[in-house]
Amino acid sequence: MNTVTQLTLYNKMVLLRHFDDMCRKLKMEDLIWSGYHPYTGQEAVAAGCCSQLKQDDCLLGNHRSHCHAVAKGTSVRAMLAEMMGRQSGVSGGLGGAMQFIHAENNLFCGSIVGSNIPLAAGMGMAFKDQQSHRVVMCMFGDGGSNTGSFHEGLNLAALWKLPVIYILENNQFAEAMPVAESVACSPLSKRARSYDLEEITVDGNDVVAVYNAVARAISKARAGEGTSLIEVLTYRIRGHYMGDPEETYRTKEEVDKWKEKDPIKLCRSQLLANGVAANELDEMESMIVKELHEDKSWVLQQPFATFEQAVRHVWIPLEQ
Amino acid sequence: MTETQVVTYGEALGQAYREEMLRDENVYLIGEDVGRWGSLYRSSKGLLAQFGPKRVKDAPLSEAAIAGCAVGSAAMGMRPIAEIMYIDFITIAMDQIVNHAAKWYQLSNGKVKMPIVFRTQGGAGRRNSSQHSQSLENWFVNIPGLVVVMPSSPYEIKGLLKSAVRDNNPVMFIEHKSLYFAKEEIPIEEYLIPLGVANVKREGSDVTVIATSWMVSFAINAAEQLQKEGISCEVIDPRTLWPLDKETILRSVEKTKHCVVVTEAPAEGGWSAEAAAVVFEGCFQLLKKPVTRVTGMRTGIPYGSVLEMQVIPNEEKIVKAIRNLLNK
């Protein structure tokens, strides 16, 4: 990978880290109301996968998708506003942090784990039938891969060779359930084999590895060569939600060990080794942080979603 | 004079499919054995040969995937007719219908439309016992965002399906398995029946009988029997359970001042209670007696024709309820 691309990915990850940190504070201040699921430590996945999509490609997310959304090109402002219940949010402030649709950016996120897997197949089927070169990416976790929807959706997509890239973002836990205690096979990518798909597991903390694997899958899908499933191995540094009883499912030592494999640190050291100046990276970072604060101030001025909105667009009145 | 033809419920459905698929190339059919078999009751017979496998998709036995495909492709501009072979199997597809199809229009600020028809069939009468005979329409009436239609005859199914395909809401189109071979004379030329409009099947002056789906024919037979005794029944088929045509119902009850609701589904927590509430709220002062319900019993549908017919409404039960209501 050339340094310019890697630098772009690095900056994207830095943005996502600070964005996520900001969201956590907003949750603590009760400015984000719903369940909030931190993304710390998984930034290489969002940056390496979602940022490769074009606007007319579809991205299906889940309950932990605020960073996927921003990596796909939805603005920080529209995403923050959504999580803070403001009208300028992607769903007009009616969805919150766990479910939202940004129609213009073909972004669909929902909080029913696993159910985006058949939905992605449906979008892929439409693109195939419409003979377009649009592709679909679907983000779910180790937990999502245990649902019936996973098997129904993956079988259909693989059977009909649909242009869908399934990203199994294995962050080691479904809430408090460790993956070793909840999935009968290891690695999880073995499940691809039963649908005659290539078994691919990549280091999800290495943004270059993620990017390259996903780039191949996207080219394949655009060329009409069908579905891919990529397991990206990463780690959820924070709780399922903030303040969950972490001591019930993991040790501090385990978390510390994974902190050493931080995707941003790793990428930074590679960039420095390739001759990028540290102060250049730091300057970019300060600009990112400054802009984030401006975004936050802007969102705080935005009006909340209204009662009128809450009862609008429930359905389309019948044409008589 | 309009030229007519005699068709079965299943054939009328097939005609509606064909006409809508010729009219709009975005309309496609997906479900288990909708192509090769032409669907369980042969309603899509011949469509695979005519339109090819892109328009008539035989799906794996995966109800969640069928419904998910419908939602995903609808969001990308297609107009799916997704068939769930028995309404009992829709339990597997509920997530896609309730959490996605019914929510996306609102979650997208009105930008993503969901022009989907979820076709399925329910009810007793074919000796299939408790997991192939249920009446589950009540669940969908309670979900904001869904339109719920129950066609009661060949004429109704054709006109209603064509309207459902053209509508931009997710429509639950719930047929009845005991009606597929019912015959009726219908126009040869194209016609549509608007959603949300009830049909006064039979005019009368003493009592309003609101009946849905298969129960409409039982209600009409009961009305004809009572006519001989001088009791005049008005029979209303709401056709669309939601949105409900309250106006037609209230206009009728204002005239008859008596009302009986007949559904195959159990009473508790059901649409029959909703219909009764609409009557109470709309014309309580005019009612001579409380609204009465004749419904399926709160039990699993038992095996065999003898027992299954004992736990759902029939002419005798409807006649008895009307006589009680009118003290006759």
Q: What is the pLDDT of residues A40-65, one digit of tens each?
A: 999 999 999 999 999 999 999 999 99
What pLDDT, on the 0 to 100 scale, is given for residue A242? 87
Whether B132 is a known active-site residue: answer: yes
Distance between CA B286 and CA B280 in Å, rounded? 9
Q: Distance, in angstroms, between B68 CA and closest chain A CA? A: 4
What pLDDT, on the 0 to 100 scale, is given for residue A320? 62
Query: B302 touching A, CB under 8 A?
Result: no
Residue of A nearest to B70 (CA): A122
Assess if residue A241 is contained within a domain. no
Query: B92 touching A, CB under 8 A?
Result: yes
pLDDT tens across A58-106, in order? Answer: 999 999 999 999 999 999 999 999 999 999 999 999 999 999 999 999 9
Other beta carbons less than 10 A from residue A277's beta carbon: 10
Q: Which of residues 131-150 of B touch A (CB under 8 A)?
A: 144-147
> Measuring CA to CA, which residue among A173, A182, A169 is closest to residue A241?
A173
> Measuring CA to CA, which residue among B213, B291, B222, B224 is closest to residue B252?
B291
pLDDT tens across A28-43, in order? Answer: 999 999 999 999 999 9
Paired tokens of A200:
């691919």
Distance between CA A109 and CA A95 in Å, rounded? 10
Contact B72 A119 (CB under 8 A): yes
Using an 8 Å Cβ cutoff, are B293 and B325 in contact? no
* Domain range B199-326, CATH class: alpha beta
What pLDDT, on the 0 to 100 scale, is given for residue B129? 96
What pLDDT, on the 0 to 100 scale, is given for residue A108? 98
Distance between CA B71 and CA A125 in Å, rounded? 11
Contact A122 B71 (CB under 8 A): yes
Chain A and chain B share a number of CB contacts under 8 A equal to: 142
pLDDT tens across A153-202, in order? Answer: 999 999 999 999 999 999 999 999 999 999 999 999 999 999 999 999 99
* ipTM of the complex in this document: 0.96
Map residue B242 onto helix, strand or coil. Answer: strand
> Measuring CA to CA, which residue among B227, B246, B244, B202 is closest to residue B322?
B227
Encoded amino acid at A317, one letter: P
DSSP B64: H
Assess if residue A318 is contained within a domain. no
Strand partners, B122: B176
Return the CATH number at A64. Answer: 3.40.50.970
pLDDT tens across A199-221, in order? Answer: 999 999 999 999 999 999 999 99
The hierarchical CATH code for the domain B4-187 is 3.40.50.970
Kindly name the residue from B100, B132, B176, B258 that is annotated as catalytic: B132
Measured at the alpha carbon of residue A62, what is the angle toward residues A58 and A67, in degrees to the nearest 5?
Answer: 80
Torsion of CA B278, B279, B284, B286, to 10 degrees: 150
Contact A119 B95 (CB under 8 A): no
Contacts of B196 in chain A (CB under 8 A): 318, 320
Pairing type for strands A100-102 and A58-61 reads: unpaired
**Which residue range(s) make up the domain with A172?**
3-225+253-297
Q: Distance, in angstroms, between A104 CA and closest chain B CA? A: 9
Residue of A nearest to B94 (CA): A115
Topology match between the domains B4-187 and B199-326: yes
**In tens digits, what is the pLDDT along chain B, a chain of 328 residues?**
689 999 999 999 999 999 999 999 999 999 999 999 999 999 999 999 999 999 999 999 999 999 999 999 999 999 999 999 999 999 999 999 999 999 999 999 999 999 999 999 999 999 999 999 999 999 999 999 999 999 999 999 999 999 999 999 999 999 999 999 999 999 999 999 999 999 999 999 999 999 999 999 999 999 999 999 999 999 999 999 999 999 999 999 999 999 999 999 999 999 999 999 999 999 999 999 999 999 999 999 999 999 999 999 999 999 999 999 999 8
Best residue of B62, B84, B113, B192 to probe chain A, by most A CBs closer than 10 Å:
B62
What pLDDT, on the 0 to 100 scale, is given for residue B189? 97
Assess if residue A235 is contained within a domain. no
Contact A110 B145 (CB under 8 A): no
Closest CB to A315 among B60, B62, B169? B169
Query: B307 touching A, CB under 8 A?
Result: no
Query: A127 touching B, CB under 8 A?
Result: yes
Distance between CA A51 and CA A61 in Å, rounded? 13
Encoded amino acid at B160, one letter: L
Show the beta-strand stretches assigned E in chain A: 58-61, 100-102, 107-109, 136-141, 164-170, 173-174, 177-178, 200-203, 228-233
Contact A119 B144 (CB under 8 A): no
Q: Which of residues 17-46 of B touch A (CB under 8 A)?
A: 28
Distance between CA B6 and CA B182 in Å, rounded? 10
pLDDT tens across A287-300, in order? Answer: 999 999 999 999 99
Assess if residue A312 is contained within a domain. no
Contact B64 A125 (CB under 8 A): no
State the pLDDT confidence band at A319, using cuts at 50, 70 and 90: confident
Distance between CA A18 and CA A37 in Å, rounded? 15
Contact B75 A122 (CB under 8 A): yes
The number of CA neighbours under 13 Å toward the Cβ of A68 is 29
Contact B68 A118 (CB under 8 A): yes
Contacts of B243 in chain A (CB under 8 A): 318
Query: A108 touching B, CB under 8 A?
Result: yes
Domain residue spans of chain B? 4-187, 199-326
Distance between CA A312 and CA A309 in Å, rounded? 5
What pLDDT, on the 0 to 100 scale, is given for residue A155? 98
Other beta carbons less than 10 A from residue B228's beta carbon: 7
Contact B106 A94 (CB under 8 A): yes
State the pLDDT confidence band at A121, using cuts at 50, 70 and 90: very high
Contacts of B69 in chain A (CB under 8 A): 118, 121-122, 125, 156
Assess if residue A72 is contained within a domain. yes
Encoded amino acid at A199, one letter: E
Residues 6+ apart with CB under 8 A from A213: A200, A202, A230
Q: In what order do the strands lie in the sheet with B147-149?
A: B56-58, B27-31, B79-84, B117-122, B171-176, B147-149, B240-242
Assess if residue A234 is contained within a domain. no
Per the structure, how many domains does chain A have? Answer: 1
Contacts of B71 in chain A (CB under 8 A): 119, 122
